[in-house]
Structure formats: structure tokens, C-alpha cells
């Protein structure tokens, strides 16, 4: 009981699924198990198949809930809450290793107007295709997230702003070459606004870096 309570108060492990295996059957014990944060309760002696089924079900449910709470459902990328946490971890590691971190902001120009003119389905197609392109381009441990309203963020450690800008040139060219088709058959292209800022030169926190990036978006 005490171990379960301790796990539930630890920010790093509080989402860990916990199944109690016990010989106690009285209602008071069952209530206490769930009161301290237990997810399931199995009475001994237990049949192996039943225990396995309960653990498997609990893990699947835990993965589903974690995915729903940390991922943007449209793009499949980390949502703002999760990617912000990942970026903070990236900066903490960079500070420890005396490295730089670059924050890239990439956004769909006039995203609201695209939705109005071509429909939300077309806007969704833009976001999904950009997401796939970004996942192909940033697959070496970078932090990649979607913050809503057509705005993507990327965190890259170990590279300077100049090096990141050079790397971005090919990605931006690919984005500009994309052609989308609206529901009524209209074809259109999308312009990408972007900005690159560097920790610690441009700011020491995600918020301060984002503010600088917002002022230099091009």
C-alpha cells in the first residue's frame, strides 16, 4: 500500500499501471487498494491466464490513455503539453552537456484562410502531409510537436542556428513544392513561415525562445 502511494505521488512514475495480487478478500482491503491508486485487484490463488489477461488489458488501456493525452489526434505528433515537456528536457540535457539547442517554429501561412476558402478537410490534409514530411526529415532524436493553428515546433540539440538554417533549406523547398487539392477540385500551394532561435543565446526558457521566434517569423 505504501509503495503504491509513493509511486502515485512521483511525477515521473505516477502513470505506471499497478495491479495488486493479494490473499485478502475483505471489502475494506479492496477499498484501500483503489484509494491508494491501484488499477486492478487480483485475489490469490490466481490462474496464470487470468493474471496475464488482466495485465495485458491494463497495459493496453494505459498506452491508449497515454497516447490520447500526449499526442495530437490529427497529425500524430506530440501535442503542446508533451512536446513542451520534451523540449524542457532537451534544454536541461544541453545545459548539463554545455550544448546549444535550436528551436524551430514552422507554421502554415494564413491557415485560417485556407480552411475558409478550401474547407477544413483541405486544411487537415496540409497538416497531415506536413507532419509526415517533418517526421521523415527529423528522425534522429529531435523533439517534434504540433501546437495547433497550423504551427509545428522542432527542437534540435548540438547544432548552431547557422547549421539548422542550412538543414532547413531542403525541407522548406519540399514544402513549397507540395500541391494540394480542395474538395471542389481547386489546386493550391501553401507558404511556410519559419523562425529559428538558439538556446542559450536567444533565451533560457521555452517561453522566452518562443517569444523571440514569434518576433522573427519569416
The per-residue pLDDT for 108 is 95
Per DSSP, 71 falls in state B
The per-residue pLDDT for 77 is 94
Residue whose cell numbers read 514569434: 214
The per-residue pLDDT for 64 is 73
The per-residue pLDDT for 68 is 66
Residue numbers in the chain where pLDDT is lower than 70: 67-68, 217-218
The per-residue pLDDT for 15 is 81
Q: Please tell me the distance from the alpha carbon of residue 210 to that of residue 205, in angstroms, as a whole number.
A: 8
Strand partners, 146: 152
The per-residue pLDDT for 218 is 56
Residues 6+ apart with CB under 8 A from 158: 94, 99, 100
Residues 6+ apart with CB under 8 A from 112: 149
The per-residue pLDDT for 11 is 79
Q: What is the dihedral of CA 155, 156, 161, 165, to 10 degrees?
A: -90
Amino acid at each position: 500500500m505504501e509503495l503504491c502511494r509513493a509511486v502515485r505521488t512521483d511525477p515521473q512514475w505516477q502513470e505506471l499501471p499497478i495491479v495488486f495480487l493479494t490473499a485478502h478478500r475483505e471489502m475494506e482491503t479492496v477499498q484501500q487498494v483503489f484509494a491508494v491508486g491501484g488499477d486492478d485487484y487480483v485475489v490469490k490463488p490466481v490462474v496464470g491466464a487470468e493474471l496475464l489477461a488482466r495485465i495485458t488489458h491494463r497495459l493496453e488501456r494505459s498506452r491508449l490513455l497515454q497516447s490520447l493525452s500526449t499526442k495530437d489526434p490529427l497529425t500524430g505528433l506530440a501535442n503542446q503539453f508533451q512536446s513542451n515537456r520534451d523540449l524542457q528536457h532537451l534544454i536541461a540535457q544541453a545545459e548539463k552537456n554545455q550544448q546549444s539547442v535550436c528551436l524551430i517554429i514552422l507554421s502554415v501561412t494564413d491557415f485560417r484562410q485556407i480552411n475558409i476558402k478550401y474547407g477544413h478537410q483541405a486544411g487537415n490534409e496540409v497538416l497531415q502531409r506536413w507532419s509526415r514530411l517533418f517526421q521523415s526529415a527529423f528522425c534522429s532524436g529531435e523533439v517534434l510537436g504540433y501546437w495547433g493553428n497550423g504551427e509545428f515546433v522542432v527542437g534540435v540539440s548540438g547544432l548552431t542556428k547557422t547549421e539548422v538554417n542550412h538543414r532547413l533549406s531542403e525541407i522548406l523547398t519540399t514544402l513549397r513544392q507540395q500541391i494540394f487539392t480542395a474538395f471542389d477540385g481547386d489546386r493550391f500551394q501553401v507558404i511556410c513561415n519559419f523562425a529559428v532561435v538558439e538556446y542559450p543565446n536567444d533565451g533560457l526558457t521555452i517561453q522566452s525562445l518562443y517569444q523571440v521566434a514569434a518576433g522573427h517569423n519569416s
